[in-house]
A = this chain, B = another copy of it.
Amino acid sequence: MGLLLLLAFLMFGAATPVPPALRAFSSLHLSSSFSSRPAVAMKYSIHYIQQKVDHFGFNTDKTFKQRYLIADTHWQKDGGSILFYTGNEGDIIWFCNNTGFMWDVAEELKAMLVFAEHRYYGESLPFGANSFKDSRHLNFLTSEQALADFAELIKHLKRKIPATKNQPVIALGGSYGGMLAAWFRMKYPHMVVGALASSAPIWHFENLVPCGVFMKTVTKDFRESGPNCSETIRRSWDAISRLARKGTGLHWLSEALHLCTPLTNSQDVQHLKDWISETWVNLAMVDYPYESDFLQPLPAWPIKVVCQYLKNPNVSDSLLLQNIFQALNVYYNYSGQARCLNISETATSSLGALGWSYQACTEMVMPFCSNGIDDMFEPNSWNLKEFSDDCFRQWGVRPRPYWIPTVYGGKNISSHTNIIFSNGELDPWSGGGVTENITDTLVAIVIPKGAHHLDLRANTAFDPTTVLLARSLEVRYMKQWIKDFYASLRRKH
């Protein structure tokens, strides 16, 4: 169970909420040119809008301040457009800094960039410090409320900035934000002419896709990044178990893996395995072609680097674990500064993590499983009952796994139009995404050599051709939507 819950927390690389310290650190690095691409000056202004805490009920008329960013350097009043980032589970400034694609295409699309923060994340807290206090305060943290915030914000902008009134808006987002972008177009097609939903696993619900698809892709990434790599990892679990059962095994493991806090019991061992699994999962999400600093500072193609230490599955348990340590070290200590590895440290200890944990326990119920055969992980079945009980203990709420397909249509979405679903083939989330065209205007773009929403990241000299092609295709679609919008506007006048 541990893994599944943790996965739920960590599910979105780009989306992983970042504690304040790391956040500052990120922006610092992101505004530098670590990836050798020409630095785009990310100049934005910060704004706030009063939103109803509850769009769908009238018992409370309470409002809160939602934060949003505007960047209008390249925006043109004549023939311009608005690119609207549907914020997901984290600080909007972090997303703004991590969505270079929007900055890169702003000039070509004469676009104003708007980044809307998702309620209950960053500074957009409906009840301030009490927002996560209990299920009563958390009651308004849903995707529907977030979409309604976006709709109100767009109406507000069109009033506040008259020249935007007759301009097309396009929704963009990645990961959960990609789902929101797609759902926004589905539910509010009068607000946006189209949506770019990058790495959006809108089908990772109920039984729409097999629950094992995620771990299978992680495994594939490792299998294809070095000989014997996934096999070595597959064997590591039993090796850990065998070592842990020995007299001094826990001590030895703690030393060999340079753990900050020594393992003391079998629960710790399970925790260790979950933490290692998560590491491989995260690596699969951020397996980018260049040095990056997303969840951690990492080298280019980090899984390839990791796999250099995992070439030989046929060694003793202790040697195998020493190799695993080297591999983990790539992820946790690329800077060379770490003195030990902290298995209780996750990137999810901020408010954002709290919010996502609640969402995963209510609407965003994504079944995960592994069987150790089609994947390199220990077998772990999807147990809704157990998951639900855990959620009830933690939040006092029960998940409704059926709800997202009911409200957003599951696989039956062909009556909608103008949505691009892009997925990187390396991205474990692609298995829950739309990877084949549904209609002429509900199109899928699959990006070989692409990890989690690589296409939304800034252009770099190291980008594989696949993602360059994807981006240019995306721009083509967006231009078409903009053109159609203006043509229809002219017909009206």
Contact = CB atoms under 8 A, between A and B. Distances in A.
Contacts of A47: none
A57 interface: yes
A152 interface: yes
Given A148-B407, A155-B406, A407-B148, A189 B58 contact: no
Given A187-B187, A190-B410, A139 B59 contact: yes
Most chain B beta-carbon contacts within 10 A, residue among A139, A413, A414, A488: A139
Interface string A401-419: 0110011011011111110
Contact of A144 (B56, B136, B139, B188): B56
B415 A139 contact: no
A142 interface: yes
A418 B397 CA distance: 38
Interface string A389-429: 00000000110101100110110111111100000000000
Interface string A249-292: 00000000000000000000000000000000000000000000
Contacts of A58: 135, 138-139, 142, 362-363, 397-398, 400
Nearest to A136: B59
Nearest to A193: B415
* Count of chain copies: 2
A413 B188 CA distance: 9
A138 B57 CA distance: 9
A145 interface: yes
A203 to B, nearest CB: 13
Contact of A409 (B136, B189, B397): B189
A151 interface: yes
Contacts of A138: 58-59
Contact of A151 (B398, B407, B413, B417): B407
Interface string A5-43: 000000000000000000000000000000000000000
A80 to B, nearest CB: 19
A311 interface: no
A257 to B, nearest CB: 39
A61 to B, nearest CB: 6
A152 B406 contact: yes
Contacts of A412: 190
Contacts of A398: 58, 61
B139 A57 contact: yes
A120 B398 CA distance: 25
Contacts of A142: 56-58
A237 interface: no
A188 B151 CA distance: 18
B55 A189 contact: no
A409 B190 contact: yes
Contacts of A139: 57-59
Contact of A415 (B61, B152, B189, B413): B189
Contact of A189 (B56, B144, B148, B416): B416
Given A151-B407, A155-B406, A57 B140 contact: yes
A397 B59 CA distance: 6
A487 to B, nearest CB: 13
Contacts of A409: 188-190
A87 B457 CA distance: 48
A262 to B, nearest CB: 39
Contacts of A55: 403, 407
Interface of A: 52, 55-59, 61, 135-136, 138-140, 142, 144-145, 148, 151-152, 155, 187-190, 362-363, 397-398, 400, 402-403, 406-407, 409-410, 412-418, 488
6 contacts: A58-B363, A59-B136, A148-B407, A151-B407, A187-B187, A188-B409
